[in-house]
A and B are shown apart, each in its own frame.
Chain A
Amino acid sequence: MNHASPTAPCRLRINGQHYAADLPPSVTLLDLLRERLDLTGTKKGCDHGQCGACTVLIDGKRVKSCLVLAVSIPDAAVITIEGINQDGQLHPMQQAFIDADAFQCGYCTPGQIMSAIALLEEDHAHSREEIREFMSGNLCRCGAYNGIVEAIEHVIAQQDQDSKGEAA
């Protein structure tokens, strides 16, 4: 190829902060977050798109950051687990995971929470079966699945109550 180059420009907004650098194109978004920006809340599990521990939001959609090249999403808005707290308070999904005992070792938890937040936005959580199916991209080796589903159901119930309160 002409102009073969070992780097390419990377421009992102990560948790609201602008980031720009020339990076080797082989750097994944996951490795950028963890190794260059010290955002280690996003976890590396399998590094092959199978476990979901590296789930982040890109322009509002949940993706596996281990399978995305950092240079390939120019000007994207990336939200990681570090970016979801609301005015210093835990995100309701974080609080629900604590309340429902939805983790044991905690390694998959940031990915589970990011996936669960997106799941609610996607409107794919109308039944327990649907929650389980649409959370199938996040594995939990401790087997905290029942707690995870319970936490998600709790947040949905909370949202329903809030919207009823607003309507009243």
Chain B
Amino acid sequence: MKFSLRFILLIWSIQVYSQNILTGTVKTAANEPIVGAVIAIRETNQYTVSDIDGNFTLKTKETPPFTLFFSMVGYKSEEVEIYEISELPLEIILREIVLESATIIASREFEDAQEIPVPISVMSGASAEEAGAFNVNRLKELVPSVQLYSSNPRNTTLNIRGLGTTFGFTNDGLDPGVGFYIDGVYYARPAVTSLDFVDVEQIEVLRGPQGFLFGKNTTAGAFSVSTRKPEFVPSGNVEVSYGNFHFLQAKTSITGGITEKIAGRLSFSGTRRNGLLYNELTQQDVNELSNLGIRGQLLFVPSNKVEVLVIGDINRQRPQGYAQLYAGTVPTMREPYQQFENIISDLNYQPIRRNAFERIIDHNTPWRAHQDLGGVSINTDIIVGKGKISSISAWRFWNWIPSNDRDFLGLDVLRKSEAPSRQEQYSQEIRYKVDVTPNLNVVAGVFVFYQSLKPIGAHIEEGGKDLWRFVQNNPNTSLWKTPGLLEGYGIRSYPIFDNLSSAFFTQFEWKITEKLNLLPAFRLNYDAKKVSFKRETYGGLQTNNPQLLAIKNSVYTNQFFEAQNDDINYSAQLTTRYQIQKNYQAYLTYSTGFKPIGINLGGLPTQNGQPLIELATIQPERVHHIEGGIKTKLAENSMLNLTIYQSDVRNFQTLVQSPEPGVNRGYLANADRVRVQGAELDVNMAVLKNKWSVYGAVSYTDGRYVSFTNAPRPLEETGHLQPFKDVSGGELPGISRWAGSIGTEFTQANELLNHDGKLFLAIETFYRSRFSSSPSPSKYLNINAYSLINARLGFRATKGISVFVWGRNLLNQNYFEQLLPGFANAGYYVAVVGDQRTYGITIKHQF
């Protein structure tokens, strides 16, 4: 018996001491436990989460010394240098902050945003939700350097500092300049920005060229969204919001351990809202929300050195949506009979409202923006030696089933305009990060991405009975009026696109001295793109009359082309970081970036009825970027960051709008040279014992075409004898010279239903100066300066019930988000109008 006891004891000792056990408590300065704080061992994938009493236990085979990193959104992160696994529990106090920085996890390494020599904006998922920002589109007011324009999910422009994606329509044959990542998975299509946030932990916006540490090479920046991982301690939340326009949103998420080594999380989100526009013709609301999303995660931790996270999600959106409205008429350089007002007068039509802000339409083709998005990813982290291997494998799909009234009028000009598509993408990234010596660490990895894009059925553009009047190019013949000539006449396009992008990337971080670091980085890319494009005309009057056929051919023609191209390219970066003194660091970065060749997927303009095949492929875009900045922590909970940058872009990839109906969605072209330069200031301050915080960001951006001699004419110059124009020196679209947001929040500790929390009142205002909404500067397509005020008031609890009311655009400011030329550059323009005042209440229960 005595032997058995000794033996058991021996075994117990072996088990206990063969791995180190760190224990402790995480609390607030007011001695309240912090639930859900992440306790991670730096530069490993080992972490744990504090339980309901703030206690944590972290088992590790790491031997001291190592650094333990404590972080919790809304609190200042803390580090502990572990020299010895002590029997005494660690007692960590995290202090509340207004500075939303803490941990940067884009590269899946726990790092302090203020320590990284990259300009970054960080928002917690919770703050975004409180602000009523439930998808990326609604976040742009919080980060003035970000521009997002969306005439529908497919045609979404996500830009940082004015660079990224083509302005206006999207062409799938082009790589985005702003990478979008959710949990490390690269999303190639911008429709993802319309997804509702589900379980979002944090949103990071990294400005400037990226791709040396992870993912795809992007020339303008990256959006990285991190979601809450499964946790072994069971918890959950339920949230319901109700607002005007019958806005109803429900979200829920539960997590917990399934076995000792497997934890799961299941999340659901549903959003419904009536439309913000009214169609008098159909007597229905348009631009509504109708979204459902479900997401499941399994976390498998077989040992302290291995962690596998499997994520699956499926999202379904079925809104009648994304209508744009007539916003104004522009006299063009075409003949008088081709002026818009004469055209509609001949057709006995007047726009139902001349003032877009009345938000009333009479469109006779349904607006639909149906889409399904989903996928599976596997994220694996393995500790190997002194380093860590991270692998991200993903498959995703996107089904896009739209319907648009692309004449934007109650006339039957375009009966159908839809590009139903299915995109599938596969990506694999493997990255190794290792500390070679205490002063040198290296990240190296490979990234392979493949996407295919195919039409679902066919892309269709189909004319109606009024089409003839918009495309008429000869007033002296009545042939155009031939009944049924163009009615039902259309094109079916079948673009099939394959894209392979692979890369090797590496970055070194060399601590030359305690204060001076040098970070050289390099990326080698191989890109291959292939398109097969077939377009067939159909319908209209079946005739052998050569004159009538000529008219039909002037509108739509058959097209067939195939193009493929591949390219090896490289980009490099050199960053120096200098710690001026404690809490003050400066950095200087020079980098080159590039976007690979682009391939026109929307059809090509024609000359003498033949497609201009030489326009099928456009040149890679190359960026030279220089940036300098300082990051400071002026005081506890207060920071000030300043960045100055200049990006020079050669062969800027842009989209050219054409009056030709066959390229209604524009085609791609290169602008010779573009330059964007600017400065950004980010400030956070907390005063009055952290009860009052002020935060703000200001950006100055000057984006110009340095040289673009063959730019398309702006809308008002349609009909000019020379179809192209030298716009060198002109401003780039979508960039406000000044944009800024400032917010303030008051909090007061309080109690609701026996749960501690805080009463809060937050007010935010966003301003942006006038900007051009036309790829070539226009006298008409400009959007005036506007400002918006958002606010929220409520009670925020760490557990139990939180309740708050929120309002966006409180002053009900009328503003345009985007202006676009009307059909066939006929001399009118349409608008994406900003949402009117919306408000609601959210009740959230965390358990």
Chains A and B bind each other: no
